[in-house]
Amino acid sequence: MVTALSVLVPLLLPAGEPRANPGAGTLGFLVVAVVFLAVRSPRARVQLVLAGCTVVIVTGAVLAVPGVLATSNELTNLWMPLAPLGPTYGAYLYQQDRCRAWLMIGVLTAVATRPWEASVPIAATGLLYLTVPMLFGFYLSARRALVASLTERAQRAERERELRAEQARAEERVRLAAELHDIVTHRLSLMVLHAGALKVSAADEPTRAAAEEVRATGAKALDELRDLLGVLRHPAARPDG
């Protein structure tokens, strides 16, 4: 659209200086920029529709009153409202295809500066209102990609920190389980040993029966303690309920 306007619109406008102050283009720039900032949609199609409407409206206004807002020699009031389209389109195109983006900015530069006319003001206007916004759009796109990359890296680092913390807790749990097992197992083993000795040395049957019951209870407690240690070492294998 911009390429077509650069070639066709000057053919439809009179020569000379526009009767309107260049401030009209600045006002149009502000209006279009505010609209694009207000309508921030994740879908690029919405932005492209807004861009197309802006091109049609601005071009229609310039051609409706030839020589008032812009002339074939001075298109500032035309380029200014279209300048905000550069960052939007540049950022979108840069994300899709960088080679095509740089090719497009090269074409825009050649068309906007009109080197065949060898006019410094025209070249400066083209660079200022078309090429520079496109380059700024590329910068915004690259910056957004960098921020996304840094955010992903920070999230990955946070997940790794949580995994390390969980691993440290698991290792501490195993260490405590081992210490608990050593202490309690030693005490229970002494109890089972003394109960077994009492069973052998006791003179009456009730004492031997009581000693056997104490020994059996201690042996069962040792088995349960081993199972508990296994659960502490491998919490994922713990049965539900």
pLDDT digits (tens, 9 = 90+) for 193-231: 877 787 777 777 888 788 788 878 888 887 877 777 666
Percent share of the chain, pLDDT over 90: 6
Q: How confident is the model at residue 160 (pLDDT cuts 50, 70, 90)?
A: very high
Q: How confident is the model at residue 241 (pLDDT cuts 50, 70, 90)?
A: very low
Mean pLDDT on 105-114: 75
The pTM assigned to this predicted structure is: 0.46
By the 8 A CB rule, do 59 and 2 touch? no
Between 176 and 28, the higher pLDDT residue: 28
Question: Of 91, 224, 209, 105, which Cα lies nearest the Cα of 147?
Answer: 91
Interatomic CA distance for residues 172 and 179, integer angstroms: 11
What's the whole-number average pLDDT of the chain?
78
Q: Which of 2-11, 18-27, 104-113, 194-203 has the highest mean pLDDT?
A: 18-27
Question: Of 19, 116, 132, which Cα lies nearest the Cα of 124?
Answer: 132
CA distances to 33, 170, 235, 238 from 230, rounded to whole Å, are: 66, 13, 8, 9
